[in-house]
Each structure stands twice: as structure tokens, then as C-alpha cells.
Amino acid sequence: MARLLVLALVSAFAVGDEASAQTSTAPANPDVGVEQLRIQVTQTYPHDPGAFTQGLLLHNGTLYESTGLVGRSSLREVELNTGHVLHSREVPPPYFAEGLALVGEKLIQLTWTSQIAFEYDRATFNPQGQLKYDTQGWGLCYDGRRLVMTDGTSTLYFRDPTDFHVLGTITARLFGNPLDHLNELECVDGWIYANVWTTDRIVKIDPTTGRIAAQIDASGLLSSAERAHTDVLNGIAYDPSDGEFLITGKFWPKLFRVKFVPVR
């Protein structure tokens, strides 16, 4: 009887240990490890409501913008405080301009389905050449060594800035799952920020692993009346002078200077 009692106790403890082990290995809260941020607007600027914004970058206080749509695509130099277009160059049909990046004194502008990127002198917008690729072109940024490009999927392409050949790829993952529709990009301090097409969301991506470290809720920037005449959020530019971001969207009448702050 004593032997049976000991065996029963051992069995009971074993079951308890197994249950504990099962509990401890259960999936963790999927939000753990992904920082949830929101926008805090610090200043609002005018923005051309006719601009179908595809790429945005800030260099020495001057805003450069790539606008899309066939027959309406352009490269622009924009005065930030007024939204006034200081200098522009049309991108002729059949091209549909997309993302924009600056490498040295050269601007590189993607096209959506033509598989051609145009190179321009930053100061004059004079053409400097063309680069070829075999995917769609969506977003583009420069991390100081490599160009980072999206094609509307969850893939980030790292490309050589001189000839555009692919140096490597990663998959952007949110809670372990691929996140599609990555669009406009901004490279900042070793991170990649990306608009997620059709949403009011920006994600912060680790370029070494593809893990999304933060989600930024950028909803509510425009009133319902303003939003009725616009398309999606698109366009991220970083201002190193104060660590803030400039964001806007396609056909948006405003551009916003914002901070990314924790959700309360």
C-alpha cells in the first residue's frame, strides 16, 4: 500500500510538472516585443493637394518629392514652410514615378512597373542615367551604404547604389508573419521605417532580421472632410536636426511634422 501511495504521489507531481511545462511554453502575448507608438503633431505645413506623393526626403532643410500617376509624375524641390514648388521636372508617359532616395548629390527615382530608376543631379535635376531592376518599384531609401527598396510585398531588397544589383534581401515580419504592402521608406539611424499601403500605419523594421520592432498609428491627421478628397497615407522624411519626421499622403492638402511617442 505504501509503495502504491508513493507511486501515486510521484505520478501526481509528474502530471503537475507536465502541466506547468505546457503552461510555460504556451505562446506569449503577440504584442510583446512590438512597441506601439502614435503620432504627436508639432507643426503643420501646406502641401499640394494635386501631388500623388510617392517618395519624400529632406536634405539640408529642403524637401524633395516624387509624385506618381502616368502623365502626372514628377520630381520636385519643395519649400517646406509654404509647400511652394521651387523646381520640378516632369516624368513623361508611360512612366509612373515612385520612391525617391538621395545618394551623395544624386537623386534616384523609381518607377512602378517600368523596371527603370532615373538618376538626376540634385541641384539641377538634369538626368544622370538609368538603373534597371526586375521587380516592381515602390519605396526607396539610402542607409549610407546600400539602397533599400520595396516592391509591394514583404520583401526588402538591399541594392548597390552604383549599379543597383541586389546585395541581399530580407522579409519584414510582424509577430513572425510576413507583412505585405510595404511602400514608401525612410532609413534612420540603422532602422527602416515603412508606410504600409492602404493603412494609416508606419512600421519600424530591423534591417538585419526583418523583425518589426514598432508600429506607429498615424490615423486622424486629416479631418473627415479633408480625407474625403484624398488617397492613402504615403511619404516619410526624417529631419536629423530635431529627430522629428515629416509625413503626408497622396493628394493630401497638408504635411505634418511629428514625433513618434508611446501609446498611452
| Structural domain containing residue 166 | 35-262
Determine, yes or no, domain membership for 110.
yes
Number of domains in the chain: 1
For residue 181, being part of any structural domain is answered with: yes
Does 70 reside within a domain? yes
Average pLDDT over residues 54-83: 97
Task: Please tell me the distance from the alpha carbon of residue 124 to that of residue 25, in angstroms, as a whole number.
Answer: 60
Measured between alpha carbons, how far is 256 from 200 in angstroms, rounded to an integer? 14
Q: What is the pLDDT of residues 140-192, one digit of tens each?
A: 999 999 999 999 999 999 999 999 999 999 999 999 999 999 999 999 999 99
Tell me the CATH number at 179: 2.120.10.30
Peptide linkage before 27 cis (omega within 30 of 0): no
Tell me the per-residue pLDDT of 211-243, one tens digit each, with 9 for 90 and over: 999 999 999 999 999 999 899 999 999 999 999
Question: How much of the chain exceeds pLDDT 70, in percent?
Answer: 88
Integer distance in angstroms from the first to the last C-alpha of the chain?
60
State the average pLDDT over residues 31-46: 90
**Cα–Cα distance measured from residue 3 to residue 1, given in angstroms and rounded to the nearest whole number:** 5
Average pLDDT over the chain, rounded to whole? 89
- The per-residue pLDDT for 264 is 81
Strands 85-90 and 155-159: unpaired
Rounded to an integer, the average pLDDT of 21-47 is 71
Whether residue 11 is contained in a domain is answered as no
Q: Is the residue at 192 inside a domain?
A: yes
pLDDT (average), residues 189-200 = 96
User: Is the model's pLDDT at 12 over the cut of 70?
Assistant: no
Domain-embedded: residue 102 = yes
Q: Looking at the domain assignment, is residue 30 inside a domain?
A: no
pLDDT tens-place string over residues 98-138? 999 999 999 999 999 999 999 999 999 999 999 999 999 99
Residue 29, pLDDT above cutoff 80: no
pLDDT at 259 over 90: yes
Q: Is the pLDDT of residue 2 over 70?
A: no
Predicted pLDDT of residue 33: 86
pLDDT the model gives residue 32: 61
How many CB atoms neighbour CB 132 within 10 A? 11
The mean per-residue pLDDT over the stretch 11-15 comes to 38
Residue 25 within any structural domain of the chain: no
